[in-house]
Structure 1
Amino acid sequence: MAQGTTRPAAGASPPVKNESAVTSFSSQHSPATTALKLPIEDALPALLDALAATPNVVLEAPPGAGKTTRVPLSLLGQPWLAQQRIVMLEPRRLAARSAASFMARQLNERVGDTVGFRVRGETRVSTRTRVEVVTEGILARLLAADPSLEGIGIVIFDEFHERSLHADIGLALALQTQQVLRPDLRLLVMSATIDGTSVSTLLSDDAGKPAPLIQSAGRMFPVETHYRPPRADERIDSAATRTILEAIQQHDGDILVFLPGAGEQRRVAERLAGNAELNKARVHMHLLHGTLSLAEQDAAIAPAPHGERKLVLATSIAETSLTIEGVRVVIDSGLSRLPRYSARAGITRLETVRVSRASADQRRGRAGRVAPGICFRLWDAHGDAALAPRTRPEILEADLAALALALADAGVRDATELRWLDAPPVGALKQACELLEQLGAVDKSNRITEHGRELAALPTHPRLAHLLLRAHETGELQLGAELCALIEERDVMHGEFGPPVADLSLRLDLLRGASPAAMQANLASAQVDRDAVRRLRQLASDLRQRLITSSGSSGPPPTRASLTAQVVPPGKHSAHEFDSHAAGTLLARAYPDRVAQRRAGSEPRYLLRSGVGASLQRHDPLADSAFLAIADLDGAPPEYRIARAIALTREQVVETFRDQITRAQIVEWDDEARAVRAWQRTQLGALVLQEHASATPNAEQVREVFAHQIARVGVDSLPWSDAAAALRERMAFLHAHDAAW
């Protein structure tokens, strides 16, 4: 298809011509807005015509075309916008801040004037702001606060091909708002690589006509592809290091390396530290992943100083929505670390998986943004054919607690009421609703409670929002914020020869200033990431401030004074000043399904309330704990590995879950004794907290057990006496000779 053309689906009417669209915009702003010619410019006339004629449009444009920063500005002068705001959703905080900053520079303005942003922990908007770049969870909260989105003329879903959970939620809710309350609301879905036809169909109008699909060819210089598979038994970080040194010696320009996670980045950085080749070539190394501070992320994407080169070790965060200037060489591990949710176990695990073909192509394209480039793929050429076309949408793989809460907050009690590109799996959604009910966020009819609205107002997972609010209620806001920070971000510990110890209390000690050297006996071989500890202290402070500015908990909202009275400034606390009993209770309230009881035996093996099995390392400080509250699990069934947890006592479990504990008489068959046994059993889910023999079993239950046992193995399993057995034999003999017997 020619670039800049509109492809309506069969039966769709052609877009209305809008001759004044481009000139109207450029006449109101500085010449800086049009100084930079971007590939997307050729598609803008068709896009503006389509938006003038129909409320929903799909735009396909490859990375680097300029859609993220050029399209929102081109809409400002459109008559249909009528001076309303433009809200653009970005999947990542760094991308949102970067896009807003770039657009503000194009207008010769500061961020917060015409263009602003809202991301977790930072908002820069004003009454003059017309374009708001937001991270995706914010749209759901805007819709909950004002379902009509008054004052907003268009919502843009950028980088929709990433198919993040919040993008799917936001689009489903926005379509509902458009259908019920705001037929004039425009929706624009922008994507680099996606099945545009299916999105166009989803955005069909009331008459069933699919939304116009506009495509831009973009601009990319040729990129040579070379294959460098790891050698036999070579780790991916070693293969990446070897290829980086080859690229530095043989090619010019900055180097962007895609690795699956922060651990691989750290190991590559350690291998390259002090390397003579890097120093000789004046190469500065940066890490780029989602848990770094914003300042560290900004430094990674900033241009290299004149006469110097930059090496960026990145995760998939750098695939599409960020522009890293000067990159001429891409080294792709071909791996990505993605969350995978197990509905059976109720846990999310990070799995290292092969990237899709679309992701691999996007990564390679990063080398051809400014000049011809080179891409090294750390696999052999035959591996290309084995790549999946696209990454599965997060909605099909993720924990759906955030989705369930967003829907309940918007008044949606049945997800099938909404239009989805991929509907949320029924089983995972049911489990998410059950968790919300356990947290007190929804009632049995899936209607949101006041507590649920308070959880939805906090931009974090419902479990952690629940933990924060409960911490405030009990006067433990400092502790709650620190626990949330530790759970929300990657671990501050990493094992040199295996996984680190699981005890979250040790991490709390580190966060409060304890010396790793003084704690070495408990840390075993674990290493402490001191930079991560510093970042987590700041995150804990941000979480406290977030709660201070939220609506508060049920009942009268907390005052700023009452909340700040619980706050200790970052770095001012000393080790061992937290209440470990309170920490365990808070964690158990946030993870009620992951309370675990130690099994009998010498090995530290545990049974979770949900019925899932898990284990600790033998040397872990928690290995003798009778009960645990578990925040993280790793590994795979049949038995997971406990990654982060806090010890509990039996009394804590009983007190915390008093209203969820069941007491019942259990009547069952004892194979060894060949008899019916009756027990009085106190349980929390699959956990048996107490049991003792019952002297008066229920007669009806006894009959049912006998009947089941006979049906299962026959009457021979019953405890026949010698006399009764002899009688059976005589009767059998008589029956054999005379059927009347």
Structure 2
Amino acid sequence: MAQRQPTSIRTRLDELHERLGEVMFHDRHRLAKRLGQLRAQLSRGDVPTERLEGLVAAVERSSQLRQQRAQRLPQPCYDLALPVVAMKDEIARLIDTNQVLIVCGETGSGKTTQLPKICLELGRGIGGMIGHTQPRRIAARSVATRLADELQCSLGELVGYKVRFTDHVRETTLIKLMTDGILLAETQSDRFLEHYDTLIIDEAHERSLNIDFLLGYLKRLLPKRPELKLIITSATIDPASFSRHFSDAPVIEVSGRTYPVEVRYRPLQIAEEPERELTEAVVDAVEELSRVGVGDVLVFLPGEREIRDCAEALRKHHPPHTEVLPLFARLSASDQDRVFQSHSGRRIVLATNIAETSLTVPGIRYVVDSGLARISRYSYRTKVQRLPVEPISRASAEQRKGRCGRLGAGVCIRLYDEHDFTQRDEFTVPEILRTNLAGVILRMAAYKLGSADTFPFIDPPDTRFINDGYRLLVELQAMDQKRRLSDVGRKLARLPL
């Protein structure tokens, strides 16, 4: 009998090994490690009955959770008017047959809300969540609300979201919306991102530091996680660079759902007339659009101060039933959500570039584009990171124009002339190429992403600037001469700057 017990336990361990394929991805490695420890204990002559029963219970719990998630998998309904839905079968085929897919879609194509549903229909989201990143908190929250509504569930159940200070995710959540910064932070506690079986990196064309860090991290991770699917979405802005980064991953293009948009150029200075203030030009443009027809107006401005100045001026020039709403990142969630609520009369939304691509303000017929944005830029001469107001790129201007023309024929008034437009940069320079690399190196060291010299950036920064960054960190005693993070460096890295 004593000889048969180890044999019986060995059989049960073999059965448990077979069942590891039925558990949640994030449990698999931990449970396999426990199983290996039990085998080693058994080989030494111990009979680990109690630990075996604990492992059996853990495998059963994880397996049951996966079964529950499979049973809760909804049957998505699609809005047939969205262009991405017309290509649903082809997108599904490409997701199924490739580890990485680049979805290039114009404004209004429906890629943000429909791609997670296509993934659900493929059976994704069971062994791990479908992680869906957005560049901004308001976008993560609004997209989660919209998806929950389309899947006819309460927010926080099948669809949840996590942003700084707010976490509406349960163990039964199938789709998790979050900022790209949240996913990057999760790499510290979940190095293989095993809580996910699919990742959608939305608005990747914005090329923020967080997005570039994630794309480099995922390039290294994907060979180690063959079951993980990666979908990168981008506006029609250089999708080939993403494809090259991921070994010529397939690119599928989806048209936008837009009506014709008339572009009118109304520069601040016209002929010999005195140059107008930006506030005056915005008031004149909105007045001109009010004579075109009914419909809401979206005004793009560079910052909060300009938004407040224009809001005050517009309220003086328009009747009481015209609603003027600001929209920028520092607004409270309740104030941000006002732009998504139904209303009567006319609404004028004054927004920063937060409304350029990452979220859709409903009901917009007209756009006023100041042609300006605050763009973070580091001066290597003065060693100062600044946030100057600069002309936007042509690609950003086209994105702004695309915000109207989704309900019917639209009008976009640009507060600069056509020659100015044609002389602008084609694309916005990626943040990694216009930021203080000392800060980048510090974050990479804190996140354990490796050396900036060897990290697989899409656009690697100049080696001279990398060396300057290391030199500054050594001067600040944030790193030692061997480029290792010091206690001072660890404290600096925790500062929310």
Among residues 131, 134, 143, which one is paired with 2:178 in the alignment?
Answer: 134
User: Is the partner of 1:145 in helix, strand or coil?
Assistant: coil
User: Is the partner of 2:87 in helix, strand or coil?
Assistant: helix
1:213/1:35 Cα in 2 relative to 1: closer, same or farther (>3 Å)?
A: closer
Does 1:258 find its partner at 2:300?
A: yes
Deviation per residue, 1:427-463 (Å, 9 max, x gap): 443444455556665443233456756665x5822xx
AA partner of residue 190 (structure 2): D
Among residues 226, 230, 241, which one is paired with 1:187 in the alignment?
Answer: 230
Among residues 29, 52, 57, which one is paired with 2:74 in the alignment?
Answer: 29
Does 1:83 find its partner at 2:127?
A: yes
Structure 1: how far apart are the matches of 2:229 and 2:81?
A: 26
Residue 11 of structure 2: aligned partner: none
Among residues 343, 348, 351, which one is paired with 1:311 in the alignment?
Answer: 348
1:72/1:245 Cα in 2 relative to 1: closer, same or farther (>3 Å)?
A: same
Structure 2 length-normalised TM: 0.79
Among residues 253, 258, 261, which one is paired with 1:223 in the alignment?
Answer: 261
Asked if 2 retains the 8 angstrom alpha-carbon contact of 1:120 and 1:459, the reply is no
Residue 326 of structure 1: aligned partner: 363
Asked if 2 retains the 8 angstrom alpha-carbon contact of 1:176 and 1:418, the reply is no
Q: What pairs up with 1:669-680 in 2 under 5 angstroms?
A: none
AA partner of residue 334 (structure 2): A
Residue 446 of structure 1: aligned partner: 483
User: Is the partner of 2:436 in helix, strand or coil?
Assistant: coil
Q: What pairs up with 1:373-412 in 2 under 5 angstroms?
A: 373-412=410-449
Structure 1: how far apart are the matches of 2:72 and 2:90?
A: 20
AA partner of residue 259 (structure 1): L
AA partner of residue 308 (structure 2): R
Pairwise CA distance, 1:289:
1.4
Pairwise CA distance, 1:99:
0.8
Structure 2: how far apart are the matches of 1:435 and 1:328?
A: 49
Q: What pairs up with 1:87-236 in 2 under 5 angstroms?
A: 87-179=131-223, 181-204=224-247, 210-231=248-269, 232-236=274-278
1:401/1:124 Cα in 2 relative to 1: closer, same or farther (>3 Å)?
A: farther
Q: What pairs up with 1:654-733 in 2 under 5 angstroms?
A: none
Among residues 233, 258, 267, which one is paired with 2:309 in the alignment?
Answer: 267
Q: What pairs up with 1:397-436 in 2 under 5 angstroms?
A: 397-434=434-471, 436=473
Deviation per residue, 1:390-447 (Å, 9 max, x gap): 1111111123355323321343442233322111333443444455556665443233
Structure 1: how far apart are the matches of 2:480 and 2:424?
A: 44
Asked if 1 retains the 8 angstrom alpha-carbon contact of 2:368 and 2:415, the reply is yes
Does 1:362 find its partner at 2:399?
A: yes
Q: What 5-or-longer segments of structure 2 have no aligned partner?
A: 1-69
Asked if 2 retains the 8 angstrom alpha-carbon contact of 1:413 and 1:447, the reply is no
Deviation per residue, 1:670-689 (Å, 9 max, x gap): xxxxxxxxxxxxxxxxxxxx
1:127/1:195 Cα in 2 relative to 1: closer, same or farther (>3 Å)?
A: same
Structure 2: how far apart are the matches of 1:449 and 1:79?
A: 46
Q: What pairs up with 1:522-671 in 2 under 5 angstroms?
A: none
Deviation per residue, 1:79-117 (Å, 9 max, x gap): 566531111221111111111111111111222111111
Structure 2: how far apart are the matches of 1:86 and 1:454?
A: 33
Asked if 2 retains the 8 angstrom alpha-carbon contact of 1:86 and 1:153, the reply is yes
AA partner of residue 431 (structure 2): E
AA partner of residue 74 (structure 2): H
Residue 353 of structure 1: aligned partner: 390
Does 1:246 find its partner at 2:288?
A: yes
Does 1:278 find its partner at 2:319?
A: yes
Among residues 326, 335, 354, which one is paired with 1:287 in the alignment?
Answer: 326
1:446/1:131 Cα in 2 relative to 1: closer, same or farther (>3 Å)?
A: farther
Asked if 2 retains the 8 angstrom alpha-carbon contact of 1:116 and 1:125, the reply is yes
Pairwise CA distance, 1:293:
1.6
AA partner of residue 415 (structure 2): L
Asked if 2 retains the 8 angstrom alpha-carbon contact of 1:248 and 1:278, the reply is no
Pairwise CA distance, 1:146:
2.0
Q: What 5-or-longer segments of structure 1 have no aligned partner?
A: 1-24, 205-209, 462-741
AA partner of residue 357 (structure 2): T
Asked if 1 retains the 8 angstrom alpha-carbon contact of 2:95 and 2:101, the reply is yes
Asked if 2 retains the 8 angstrom alpha-carbon contact of 1:259 and 1:333, the reply is yes
Pairwise CA distance, 1:261:
1.4
Deviation per residue, 1:458-502 (Å, 9 max, x gap): 5822xxxxxxxxxxxxxxxxxxxxxxxxxxxxxxxxxxxxxxxxx
Structure 2: how far apart are the matches of 1:201 and 1:79?
A: 28
Structure 2: how far apart are the matches of 1:80 and 1:270?
A: 49
Pairwise CA distance, 1:304:
4.1
Structure 1: how far apart are the matches of 2:71 and 2:204?
A: 28
Residue 711 of structure 1: aligned partner: none
Structure 2: how far apart are the matches of 1:145 and 1:446?
A: 23
1:97/1:79 Cα in 2 relative to 1: closer, same or farther (>3 Å)?
A: closer
Count of matched residue pairs: 424
Asked if 1 retains the 8 angstrom alpha-carbon contact of 2:404 and 2:412, the reply is yes
Deviation per residue, 1:1-35 (Å, 9 max, x gap): xxxxxxxxxxxxxxxxxxxxxxxx9994266x325
Asked if 2 retains the 8 angstrom alpha-carbon contact of 1:340 and 1:398, the reply is yes
CA RMSD in angstroms, aligned pairs only? 2.4
Deviation per residue, 1:374-404 (Å, 9 max, x gap): 1111122333321221111111112335532
Asked if 2 retains the 8 angstrom alpha-carbon contact of 1:401 and 1:436, the reply is yes
1:128/1:402 Cα in 2 relative to 1: closer, same or farther (>3 Å)?
A: farther
Asked if 2 retains the 8 angstrom alpha-carbon contact of 1:163 and 1:394, the reply is yes
Deviation per residue, 1:318-372 (Å, 9 max, x gap): 1111111111111111111111111332211112211111111111111111111
User: Is the partner of 1:144 in helix, strand or coil?
Assistant: coil
Among residues 100, 104, 111, which one is paired with 1:60 in the alignment?
Answer: 104
